[in-house]
Structure 1
Amino acid sequence: MSDKPEDAAPKKKGGKMKIIIMALALVILVGGGVGAGVYAASSGLIGGGGHAAAEEEHGPKLVPKSEQKRPKAEGEGGEGGHGGGGGEAASGGGKHVPSGGDGDKYASNYYTMDPQFTSNLQNSVHVVQIGIAISTPYDDTVIENLKTNDIAVRSAVLLTLGDTPEEQVFTSAGKEVMQKRLAKAINDILEQKEGFGGVSNVYFTNFVVQ
């Protein structure tokens, strides 16, 4: 009879130890799960789509044709109201620019670069003076990028004009080639500075060879 109380004490003690061990194991499991979740979130494994969507929201957006900007009154100009005044549309060859028939689904957002450009031609005594306007199917983000990087863009345009052979400025076909080269030069600068081109066409608003 005297042995029973002595046997009960170790059993009770052992039961408490099991409860403590199980509680510790539960804490470790829960803590490990939370830590893994935090790591996954910080490394982009969880919620990566939301992060990408947030970045997309801050980038240039295509403007539907229904939202095309229109002049307020006949003859009223402005920085967004000038189109092609002496040249055909030219593909810019830049990234993120819709090509082919898809371009007709989007509005044309115009921006005239002022002042005009004057440059010598390659291996020629002639000087060319041109005015250009760019168009983009995107919102004003691309135009704001052009304004922000105006000095770099103007330098790229002048370098492109300086590399233009004389025969290119006297024919319509040559001028179309110039437009493509100018659009590419502008897109290259925007890609370098902003990571996004967006210029689809370049138009001549003035073209004089002296």
Structure 2
Amino acid sequence: MSDPAEDVKAPKKKGGLMKKLMLGIGLLVLVGGGVGAGLYASNSGLFGGGAHAESAASGPKLVPKSEQKRGGGAAGEGEGGSGESHGKAPPKGSGGEKFASNYYAMEKEFTSNLQDSVHFVQVGIAISTPYDDTVIDNLKTNEIAVRSAILMTLGDTSEEQVFTVEGKTQLQRRLAKAINDTLKEKEGFGGVGNVYFTNFVVQ
């Protein structure tokens, strides 16, 4: 009688060991999965810096006219001053643009030969955007590509265009398109509203 009882107990011990082994493997899988999920969530910005990832993914934002930066900013930096208006609200009138104009003057001037001409043009350029500083940051980041696009556009300009107001206005539009096309290619978004000449010389 003792032999059959021992035979019955032996499989129970093996079964218990097998259950413990399976339970241990299951716990390892759960812990490993939890660690993996935590690392994924951390890297994707679901917590611990998610606000930055969200703001970066949302792209440039239009700035309402009421939030326009005014006065005192350093030229070319696209930055408004603080307290220059001495607490006074800007004067209000009818019309005007709905969104703020954020300006940025490019530091170096551009010099290019004119198309089929012995003359050349030298221009200073500033841009305006109704968006926040993201567009200006994109301009600064991709300045070499933007400068190249501007020079190519200037080189494709005829002598007749630079001597008339209509021609200069068309050139402004062409430059804005060239800059936006470059920014779209590099950053996926243009955002430049207008191009302005801060200097314009033909020789």
TM-score (norm 1): 0.65
CA distance in 2, matches of 1:130, 1:123: 19
Q: Which string of whole-angstrom CA distances, capped at 9 and with x for unpartnered residues, describes residues 40-69 of structure 1? A: 677x69985739864343465425313211
- Deviation of 1:134 (Å): 0.7
2:29 pairs with 28, 32, 46, which one? 32
- Going from structure 1 to structure 2, the CA distance change for 1:34 and 1:172 (only over 3 Å counts) comes to farther
**Equivalent position SS for 1:202:** strand
Match of 1:55 in 2: 53
Contact 1:80 1:109 in 2 (8 A): no
Contact 1:111 1:134 in 2 (8 A): yes
- Deviation of 1:149 (Å): 4.3
Aligned pairs (5 A) from 1:85-100 = none
1:117 pairs with 110, 117, 129, which one? 110
Q: Which string of whole-angstrom CA distances, capped at 9 and with x for unpartnered residues, describes residues 114-145 of structure 1? A: 33323221012333232221112333343244
Match of 1:186 in 2: 179
- Kindly provide the amino acid, as one letter, of the partner of residue 46 in structure 2: G
2:146 pairs with 142, 153, 157, which one? 153
Match of 2:119 in 1: 126
Task: Specify every segment of 5 or more residues in structure 1 that has no aligned partner in the other structure, as ranges.
Answer: 83-103
Match of 2:90 in 1: none
Match of 1:68 in 2: 68
Q: CA RMSD in A?
A: 3.7
- Going from structure 1 to structure 2, the CA distance change for 1:28 and 1:146 (only over 3 Å counts) comes to same
Larger RCO (CA under 8 A, 6+ residues apart): 1
- Deviation of 1:35 (Å): 4.2
Contact 2:129 2:193 in 1 (8 A): yes
- Kindly provide the amino acid, as one letter, of the partner of residue 69 in structure 1: K
- Going from structure 1 to structure 2, the CA distance change for 1:107 and 1:26 (only over 3 Å counts) comes to farther
> Identity over aligned residues, as a percent?
57
For these two proteins, the number of residue pairs brought into alignment is: 182
Match of 1:201 in 2: 194
Task: Specify every segment of 5 or more residues in structure 2 that has no aligned partner in the other structure, as ranges.
Answer: 80-96
1:13 aligns with 2:6: no
- Going from structure 1 to structure 2, the CA distance change for 1:24 and 1:152 (only over 3 Å counts) comes to same
- Deviation of 1:164 (Å): 1.1
TM-score (norm 2): 0.66
Match of 1:92 in 2: none
Contact 2:101 2:130 in 1 (8 A): yes
